[in-house]
Amino acid sequence: MTGTTLPHRRLTTPQGTVEFPSLPDLAARLGVDLAALPFTIRVLLENLARLVAAGQADPARLHDLARWDPSADRQGEFPYLPSRVVLQDFTGVPAIADLAAMRDAVAGLGLDPSIVDTQVRADQVIDHSLQVDVFGRSDAAAVNVAREYQRNAERYGFLRWAQQAFDGLRVVPPGAGIVHQLNLERLAEVVTVNRGGAGPAQAVLDTVVGTDSHTTMINGLGVLGWGVGGIEAEAVMLGQPIHVVTPRVVGVRLTNRLAAGVTATDLVLTVTELLRRHGVVGAFVEYFGEGAERLGLADRATLANMAPEYGATTGFFPVDQETLHYLAATGRSAEQVELVERYCRAQGLFREPGGPAPRYSELVELDLATVEPSLAGPKRPQDRVRLAEVPRSFTAAYPQAASSALESGSSASGPASSASGPIGDGDVVIAAITSCTNTSNPGVMLAAGLLAKKAVERGLAVPDRVKTSLAPGSRVVTAYLERAGLLPYLEKLGFAVVGYGCTTCHGMSGPLVPAVAEAMAERELVGVAVLSGNRNFQGRVHPQVRAGYLASPPLVVAYALAGSVTADLTTEPIGHDEDGRPVTLSDIWPSPEEIAGALDQAMRAELYEAEYAGVFEGDEHWKAIDAPAGVLYEWDDESTYIRRPPHLDGLTAEPAPPADIRAARALAILGDSITTDHISPVGAIARESAAGRHLLAAGVERRDFNSYGTRRGNHEVMVRGTFGNIRLRNAMAPDHEGPWTVDQPSGELVGIYEASCRYRERGVPAVVLAGKDYGCGSSRDWAAKGTAMLGVRAVLAESFERIHRSNLVGMGVLPLQFDADRSSAEYGLTGAEEFHIAGVDGLRPGGRVTVRAVRPDGTELSFPMTARIDSRRELDYYRHGGVLAYVLRQLIKRSEEGK
C-alpha cells in the first residue's frame, strides 16, 4: 500500500467540504473489524494514515497497527505526529531556550537560523509562576499577580520575544488559568480543519502532547494527549514525529453510578489506587461501560487528569453525545460541534450509547456505587484513605509525632478570625482549593461553595493558623461562583481568590503563617496540607509541611474548618456554632439537589465566551513588558534567569559512537518511588543549598531567590539543584536527609553537586542506582537535564516511570533496568564500587548490557541488565547524545540538501 492509494473520503460540513483518509474504508481493505479496536488505537491509526499518505511513514506500519492484537507483546513501533503542543511556563521556558540555542548553533555554521521554527502549533500558557504570598483578602489576587510580574519580568520578556520569533507559537499571558483547564475549556477543538497546502481542506483529529504530565486531562474530551518532556516536545514542534511502541490498552469498565455525597475526586482516588494495584504503567487506559457513559464531561476530565498518578500514558473517553454537550456548554460554535459529530461518526470514532465494547489487552472493573468519600495521603496520591480512616493513616505514617502545642498568633496577611488555637502534630496549616484536576469541575466547586455557605450560616470559622487559598484553573470558575452567590461565603472562610494558576498544587504555596512556621521549625511538628490537587509527595507542597492529603474541594473546606486530620469527620463535630452546639460534616454537606440547583443557576455558555474572548491579550502588566525582537535571542551573560543552555556546545556534524562506561562512581543509591520532585525540586531555593550559594555569589539577595521552577532558564541554578530535595534519602549517606553523598574513594561526606564536580574534574563518569518507579510524578525535563549535567551516564533502577525514562534517553543518559527480583540491595551494592558497563557500543532496543562492580578490596560482581531504550528512534537519540543534537543534525542535513 502506498500513500497515493490510501482510501479517502470527502464530507460536506458547515466549514466547507473536507477530505480525510477513511478509517472504515481502510479497515475494510485490510480485512479488519474497526469496531473491535480500542478507540485510542483508532486515533493512532488515523494519525499514522496521514503520515503514510504524506510519505513520512512506512505503509507496513499501518498494516501492523490496524491488526492490533490485544494479546500480543508490544514490540512494534510507529511514528506519531500530534497536531498540537501545549506548554506551561516552567517547562516551556527551557524548551524555548533550547530552540533559541539551536538557532545560535545553526547560525554559527553559516546557515539560516530560521530553519529552526515551529512546524506544529504550540500554545504556551503561563500558569506555574504564581505564588500565594497574600491570602484571605479581597485584594489577594491583585497583590500576588503584581509580585509575580516583579519576580518574573525577565522570563516573561523572553516569552514575548519567542512569541514574535516563532511562527506557530501562541502565548497565553499570566492570569488566565491553568494550561490543562484552558485546553479543556477553549484551546481544544476535537476536530480541526487544515486549509494549508494544495488540494482540498483536510479534516484532522485534534491530538496533543504537552510539557506537563497532566496533559492527559484532555482525554476526557475525546482528544488523545499525554505528557512528554520538554526536549521531546521541542522535536514535535519542529515537525519530528514521536516514535510510539504499540501500546497495551487496558479497558476499565465502569458500572452503576456514584452514590449521593460521593464526588469525582473520591472516584479518581479510588481509580488511582485500583489501577496502581493492577499495574498500568506505560499502558493506554480506556474507560467504557454504562457507568462511563453516565459520567459528565467534567468528571471524565478529572479521571483523565490523574492518569500519571495511576501510571498510565492515557485515561481516554471517546467522543460521544456528552462531548458534544460540553462543547456547546463551554461556548464552542454550533458549526464546530456539528463538525466534530459528523467527522467522528464518519470515522467510526463516535461512541454510541450501549455500543459494543472493543477488545482490550486486559479488563478492570469498578462498580461506581462502591466508591466512598476518600482522601489520599499522607505521602502519595495512590494511597487512598477512607474518610473515617484519615486519623489512623496519619498516626500510622508518623508514629513518633509529638502532641505538644503552641498558641499561634494571627497572620498579617491572613483573614481575621476568632478561631485561634494551639498548633500540634496533625494540624492543618495549608488548605488549598487548587489545580485543574478539581477546579475544572463545576459540580465539586459549587459543592465547596455550598458547604462554605452552610458553615458561615452556622457561625463556623477557620483557625488563624490555616493558610487558606482559592486558585481557580480559569476565570470562568470565579464567574459561576459569583453568579451562584457562593463566592462571598468562601471568602468569609478565608478562601478568597489568590490568582489563577497552579499555586499550591506544585509547591508555590508561599510562606506559612509566621507563628506556625516558627513553631514547626522549633518543635519539628508534623503540619498537614489538605489540597484539591493531584500530588502530595513529601516536600512538594511546602518544604516545612511533611504530610499532605488530596481531597475534593468541599472536603478541603471541611478540613480547614476542623483544623486537624486527627479528628474523624464522620463521627466527630467539625466545629461548634455560636451557641456552642456541635456541627457535623453531614449537617453542612450539600445535597445532590442543592448542587444541581446551583449548576442550573450558574452555568451559562456566555460565561466561557466572555472570559476567553481576550485570552491571548494579557493585562496592563503584560503589555508593559519591554521585549526584544529578531530571529536570534540576545543572551545576557549576567542574567540569573535566562542563560544560553550548553547542551549543544561542541556539536559535530556526525555523532561519536556510544562507548562502554568504565570506572564510574555512584552519586546516589535511592529507594522506591523517587519522584521528579526529588530529582529536580520546583519550590523554594534554600540559602545554604548549592543553588542558593550560587545565587548569592551572583549578587541575588535571598528575598529575590524566587524558586527552582522559575529559574529553569538558568542551567547553573538547575544543575546545582538536581537531587536537591530536602527530603531525599541516599543510602550512601544514611544518617542525613537531603542532597548528601559520599565522595569515592575518599569516603568524605559532601553535597551531590560537589561530588559531581570532583568526578568531572577527574574525568570520572557517574551513575545513580534506584528502586521501583524511578522518576514518577511530573514530566519535568530538568530531572533528566540536571542528571546529565551532573555527569551521570546511566541510571540503574528496578523500574522507570514512562516520561522520565524517555527524558533520560532524550538527554543521552542510559536507563538500565534490573531483572525481576534483583536490585542494588540484592547485589549488596553500597556505592563504594567502581562500575563498568559493557555492551553499550552494540546496543539494540531492549538489548542487554553487563554491569561489573569492583569493590574496594578488588573483588568483583557481574550481573546483566536491560537497556530501556525501547525503540529504534530512541536508539538514534541516544547515539546522537540526545534529542536536540539528533533533530538539529536532521535540520542541517535537510537544509544542505535543499541548496
Q: What is the pTM for the complete model shown?
A: 0.87
Residue 849 amino acid letter: V
- Reading the block at residue 180, the C-alpha cell is 490543562
Q: Residue 739 carries which DSSP code?
A: S
Please give the DSSP secondary-structure letter assigned to residue 882. Answer: S
> How far apart, in whole angstroms, are the C-alpha atoms of residue 599 and residue 605?
12
Helix axes 475-483, 605-612, angle to 10 degrees: 140
Last residue of some domain: 67, 96, 115? 67
Residue 402 pLDDT exceeds 70:
no
Between helices 89-108 and 140-165, what is the axis angle to 10°? 20
Closest of 692, 658, 612 to residue 123, by C-alpha: 612
pLDDT band at 412 (very low <50, low <70, confident <90, very high): very low
Structure confidence by residue, pLDDT tens digits, 28-62 = 999 999 999 999 999 999 999 999 998 889 999 99
The answer to whether residues 11 and 113 belong to one domain is no
In terms of domains, do 591 and 670 share one? no
Which stretches within 68-185 are classed as H helix? 89-108, 140-165, 179-182
Cβ-count burial 496-527 (b if 16+ within 10 Å, e if not): bbbbbbbbbbbbbbbbbbebbbebbeeeebbb
The neighbour count for residue 396, using CB atoms within 10 Å, is 11
Q: What's the CA gap between 555 and 577, in Å, rounded?
A: 19
Domain limit, last residue, from 370, 388, 414: 370
**Following DSSP, what letter does each residue of 747-762 receive, concatenated?**
--EEEHHHHHHHHHHT
Are 854 and 824 within one domain?
A: yes
Give pLDDT tens digits for 485-527.
Answer: 999 999 999 999 999 999 998 888 999 999 999 999 888 899 9
pLDDT for residue 418 is more than 60: no
Give how far the C-alpha of residue 52 lies from the chain's centroid of Cα atoms, to the nearest Å.
31
Read off the C-alpha cell for 157: 520578556
Is there a domain that residue 711 lies in?
no
Domain termination site, one of 317, 345, 370:
370
| CATH number for the domain that contains residue 178 | 3.30.499.10
Q: Are residues 7 and 113 in the same domain?
A: no
Q: Which 3 state secondary structure label does DSSP give 364?
A: strand
The one-character DSSP state at 184 is: I
Q: What is the pLDDT of residues 842-875, one digit of tens each?
A: 999 999 999 999 999 999 999 999 999 988 889 9
Tens digit of each residue's pLDDT (9 = 90 or more) over 259-283: 999 999 999 999 999 999 999 988 9
Together in a domain, 224 and 315:
yes
Omega of the bond leading into 745 within 30 degrees of 0 (cis): yes
Using only C-alpha atoms, the chain has a radius of gyration, in whole angstroms, of 27
pLDDT (mean) for 697-723: 93
- For residue 75, the model assigns a pLDDT of 67
Q: Are residues 727 and 792 in the same domain?
A: yes
Residues 158 and 300 occupy one common structural domain: yes
Q: CB within 8 A of 711, min separation 6: which ones?
A: 640, 641, 685, 691, 717, 718, 721
pLDDT tens track for 123-144: 999 999 899 999 999 999 999 9
- C-alpha distances (whole Å) from 398 to each of 290, 528, 751 are 41, 11, 28
Give how far Cα 254 sits from Cα of 282, 357, 372, 778, Å: 21, 12, 15, 27
The mean predicted confidence, pLDDT, of the chain is 93
Q: Which of 224, 264, 217, 266 is nearest to 242 (CA)?
A: 224
Residue 92 lies in a domain: yes
> How many residues belong to the chain?
899
Do the beta carbons of residue 865 and residue 816 sit within 8 Å? yes
Instruction: Give which of 777, 478, 618, 815 is closest to 124, Cα–Cα.
Output: 618
Q: Give the residue among 873, 784, 771 at the shortest CA–CA distance from 823.
A: 771
In this predicted structure, what is the pLDDT of residue 823? 97
Same domain, 137 and 261: yes
Q: Rounded to whole angstroms, how far apart are CA atoms 205 and 144?
A: 39
Residue type, 140: A
Please, are residues 802 and 313 in contact by the beta-carbon 8 Å criterion?
yes
The yes-or-no verdict on residue 246 having pLDDT over 80 is yes
Q: What is the pLDDT of residue 899?
A: 60
Quote the CA–CA distance of 899 and 599 in Å, as a whole number: 61
Residue 686, domain member (yes or no)? no
Q: Which domain holds residue 862?
A: 661-680+722-879
Contact between 799 and 852 (Cβ < 8 Å): no
26 within a domain of the structure (yes/no): yes
Where does the pLDDT of residue 703 fall: very low under 50, low under 70, confident under 90, or very high at 90 and above? Answer: confident
Question: Are 118 and 136 part of one and the same domain?
Answer: yes
Structural domain contains residue 168: yes
The total of other beta-carbon atoms located within 10 Å of residue 857's CB is: 6
Do 389 and 421 reside in the same domain of the chain? yes
Mean pLDDT, residues 446-454 = 98
Q: CA-CA distance, 642 to 635, in Å (whole number)?
A: 7
pLDDT at 374 over 60: yes
428: cell is: 492543618
**Residue 200 contacts residue 18 (beta carbons within 8 Å):** yes
H/E run at residue 861: strand 860-867
Tens of pLDDT along 71-101? Answer: 987 768 899 999 999 999 888 899 999 999 9
Interior angle at CA 603, CA 489 and CA 176, nearest 5: 75
Task: Confirm whether 626 is domain-assigned.
Answer: no
Looking at residue 868, its pLDDT comes to: 96
Q: What is the C-alpha to C-alpha distance for residues 725 and 678, in angstroms, rounded to an integer?
A: 5
* Number of domains within the chain: 4
- Name the strand (E) or helix (H) holding 608: helix 605-612
Percentage with pLDDT > 90 across the chain: 82
Q: How far apart are CA 813 and CA 660, in angstroms?
A: 13
Residue 250 lies in a domain: yes
> Does one domain contain both 378 and 318?
no
Give the burial class of 309: count Cβ atoms within 10 A of its Cβ; 0-12 exposed, 13-18 middle, 19 or more buried. Answer: buried
Which residues are within 8 A (CB) of 71 and not within 5 positions of it... i.e. 6 or more apart? 361
Q: Distance between CA atoms of 524 and 422, rounded to whole angstroms?
A: 15
For residue 388, what pLDDT is reported? 97
Instruction: Examine residue 895 and state whether it is found in any structural domain, yes or no.
Output: no
Can you list the positions of beta strands (E) in 295-427?
Answer: 314-316, 362-367, 374-376, 384-386, 406-407, 422-423
CATH number at residue 838: 3.20.19.10
**Contact indicator for 128, 711 with CB cutoff of 8 Å:** no
Alpha-carbon dihedral sign for residues 278, 284, 289, 292: positive
Residues 751, 671 within the same domain? yes
User: How buried is residue 734: exposed, middle or buried, by Cβ count under 10 Å (0-12/13-18/19+)?
Assistant: exposed
Concatenated DSSP letters of 447-479? HHHHHHHHHHHTT----TT-EEEE--SBHHHHH
**pLDDT tops 70 at residue 421:** no
Q: Which amino acid is at 113?
A: P
**What pLDDT, on a 0 to 100 scale, did the predictor assign at position 40?**
98
Bond preceding residue 378 cis, omega within 30 of 0: yes
Mean pLDDT within 798-806: 90
Rounded CA gap, 22 and 6, in Å?
8
**Quick one: pLDDT at residue 491?**
98
